[in-house]
Amino acid sequence: MLKIMHVVGARPNFPKVAPIMAALAKQPDRFDQLLVHTGQHYDYNMSQIFFEHLEMPAPDAYLNVGSGSHAAQTAAIMTSFEPIVLKHRPDCVVVVGDVNSTVACALVCAKIGVRVAHVEAGLRSRDRTMPEEINRLLTDQISDLLFTPSKDGNENLIREGVDLAKIHFVGNVMIDTLVKLLPKALQRNKLKEFNVEAKEYILVTLHRPSNVDDPTVLRGILQAMVEISEDVPVIFPVHPRTRSRIHDLNESLPKQTLQLVEPLGYLDFLALMNGAKLVVTDSGGIQEETTYLGVPCLTARPNTERPVTLSEGTNRLTGSNCHGLVGAARESLRRPSGSSRKPDLWDGHAAERIVEVLHKM
């Protein structure tokens, strides 16, 4: 029997780990599972509510590392995680995505000889000013199994000299969760709560330091949202970090047309995203989910590590400039939704393919 340890730490990790755990649970005679939550995200709507909505088991270990600088947080995760690995001696540790928990736990395992499987491997923005890009590069170099969500991931890894035998194109595991829970999300009637009709509002999310930590950039983005809300109502679930920065600006915002609301759980956010006429974001995962749903998406960044959402999906890069955001949004609202296709293996069965590889291990 293989002992598999999963690591989650931040909100984007949960919908990636949940389907893998569910698929492994179907073979209890072959796999023993443990779940470690580093506590990188500790706000209820950023973390705990995801366990409930995604039907995940309670963590076997909670590290409670909390916030801090990248160096402090990464070090705290490594220091707290090492005793857990030494105690349980898993055959493989599964890390997902590109957050600090991902690279920290991968480093611990690499140094003590425990195999690492990286889910969502090979993605590259080619922008090393992004902390996530450093996390992706390092994690992929020290992992034993690399599960890629799109074919460009394979190409990136091969170009970087990764052994081809380690690379497995399995598709997008986050889409597994979306496919499973979309019917349940649509039953929650979330649109009525916000007094909006389907395809008659814009959904916004922002959290990246490059967008929210610079007061000039954040002020420009907020001004863009105000101008856009003159045409179509805007719903903006605000990340705690972003809310703090907005508060510091002391800007007056029109509450009727620009609704700043608390972070939403997975099901409620999925329902709002599915019903939106347009999504404006700086999140990587939302670029993928809107592509699957066929919802137009504007990414307030100069680059993306998910180019398949540009070439095959509904995503467009706009940067964070106020004028550019307003122009792109109004253009998108005027024109009918373009055609898009679901990328290869974004079919709701990525977790099953991951389990097949783990079983062969």
Q: Are 76 and 101 in contact (CB under 8 A)?
A: no
* Paired sense of beta strands 145-148 and 115-119, if any: parallel
The residue annotated as part of the active site, out of 6, 41, 207, 359, is 207
User: Phi and psi dihedrals of 181, rounded to 5?
Assistant: -105, -5
- Residue 305 C-beta-side C-alpha neighbours within 13 Å: 29
Residues near 334 by Cβ (< 8 Å), separated by ≥ 6?
none
How far, in Å, CA of 152 to CA of 188, rounded? 36
Please say if 88 is a catalytic residue.
no
Token output for 51: 């366990």
Amino acid in position 310 = L
Token output for 41: 């995200």
Q: Are 19 and 180 in contact (CB under 8 A)?
A: yes
Q: Are 77 and 38 in contact (CB under 8 A)?
A: yes
User: Phi and psi dihedrals of 290, rounded to 5?
Assistant: -65, -35
Residues near 359 by Cβ (< 8 Å), separated by ≥ 6?
2, 27, 30
Q: Are 170 and 354 in contact (CB under 8 A)?
A: yes
Grouping H, G, I as helix, E, B as strand and the rest as coil, residue 232 is coil
Token output for 264: 């939403």
- 237 beta partners: 261
Considering only CA atoms, which of 47, 45, 15 is closest in space to residue 263?
A: 45
Cα 1 versus chain centre, distance: 31
CB count within 10 Å of CB 300 equals: 25
Residues annotated as catalytic are: 207
